[in-house]
């Protein structure tokens, strides 16, 4: 395990950022740096699964990763997409209207960005029409929706309905996560559902192909 992976796994933010800057200075490939961070995030996830880490640690790990990405952003060939500059995105991701739970969303976005996907984080409590606008603006082919409240399944459904009204050329697929299951997936009309971030990443990889990762050495 490299020092960057270790610092990430130990949630040492300052050290992570220092090591990232140092690696950039040494002309290391940005994607390699991202990969080291991701290994660290994976360890965090494992420690959470075994009960060694807690929700607080998960939240912090996503936070540190976002900070590392900000440092790396100018050097990435596939720029991370931030709300300040929508540009093009592969995936639009957000929490549906009426719901502000975003811990799971943020973790999943971190992992997707690790994989090199350009993810647009739409934020929380996003009405259907805003989702539609963002999907059109960014040309994203995957829409990731998060919901943890039973009462927000309805807005999830309305969002999917709106997206389905786009002409077929867009071919937008909808992936949902959070407190969802097969019944919810059918009810809202999504293409797939997950309860776990890594499964979501695997699905996105399947849907979007690995095109982004080929640039990795």
Footprint of other proteins (CB under 8 A): 11, 13, 53-57, 59-60, 63, 98, 100, 102-103, 125, 149, 151
Contacts (Cβ under 8 Å, ≥6 apart) of 11: 44, 57, 60, 61, 64
Residue 196 found at the interface with ligand B12 (CB under 6 A): yes
Q: Which does 41 bind (CB under 5 to 8 A by kind): ligand B12, other proteins, none?
A: none
Residue 178 found at the interface with ligand B12 (CB under 6 A): yes
Q: Which does 11 bind (CB under 5 to 8 A by kind): other proteins, ligand B12, none?
A: other proteins
Cβ atoms of 112 and 151 closer than 8 Å: no
Contact range with ligand B12 by CB under 6 A, out of 21-29, 35-43, 193-201, 205-213: 193-201
Residue 108 found at the interface with ligand B12 (CB under 6 A): yes
Residue 150 found at the interface with ligand B12 (CB under 6 A): yes
Cβ atoms of 182 and 193 closer than 8 Å: yes
- Closest approach of other proteins to the CB of residue 104, in Å: 12
Residue 94 found at the interface with ligand B12 (CB under 6 A): no
Helix, strand, coil abundance in the chain, percent, nearest 5: 60, 15, 30
Beta bridge partners of 194: 177
Q: Which does 197 bind (CB under 5 to 8 A by kind): other proteins, ligand B12, none?
A: ligand B12
Residue 144 found at the interface with ligand B12 (CB under 6 A): yes
Using the minimum distance from each CB to ligand B12, give the nearer residue, 210 or 215. Answer: 210
Using the minimum distance from each CB to ligand B12, give the nearer residue, 78 or 103. Answer: 103
Using the minimum distance from each CB to other proteins, give the nearer residue, 69 or 135. Answer: 69
| 192-194, strands of its sheet edge to edge | 119-126, 91-96, 142-147, 173-178, 192-194
Taking the C-alpha atoms of residue 186 and residue 174, their distance in angstroms, rounded to an integer, is: 12
Cβ atoms of 6 and 63 closer than 8 Å: no
Residue 91 token pair: 């995936």
- Closest approach of ligand B12 to the CB of residue 116, in Å: 16
Q: Which of 64, 60, 73, 85 is nearest to 18 (CA)?
A: 64
């Amino acid at each position: 395990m490299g020092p960057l992976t270790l610092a990430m796994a130990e949630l040492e933010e300052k050290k992570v950022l220092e090591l990232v800057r140092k690696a950039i200075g040494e002309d290391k490939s940005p994607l390699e740096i991202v990969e080291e961070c991701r290994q660290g995030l994976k360890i965090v996830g494992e420690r959470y699964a075994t009960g060694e880490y807690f929700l607080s640690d998960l939240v912090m790990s996503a936070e540190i990763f976002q900070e590392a990405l900000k440092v790396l952003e100018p050097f990435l060939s596939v720029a991370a997409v931030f709300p300040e500059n929508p540009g093009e995105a592969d995936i639009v991701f957000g929490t549906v209207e009426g719901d502000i739970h975003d811990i799971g969303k943020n973790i999943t976005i971190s992992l997707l960005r690790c994989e090199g996907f350009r993810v647009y984080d739409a934020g929380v409590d996003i009405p259907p029409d805003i989702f539609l606008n963002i999907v059109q603006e960014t040309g994203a082919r995957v829409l990731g929706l998060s919901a943890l409240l039973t009462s927000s399944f309805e807005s999830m459904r309305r969002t999917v309905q709106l997206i389905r009204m786009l002409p077929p050329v867009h071919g937008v697929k909808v992936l949902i996560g959070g407190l969802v299951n097969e019944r919810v997936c059918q009810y809202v009309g999504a293409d797939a559902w997950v309860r776990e971030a890594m499964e979501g990443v695997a699905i996105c990889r399947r849907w979007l192909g690995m095109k982004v990762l080929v640039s990795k050495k």
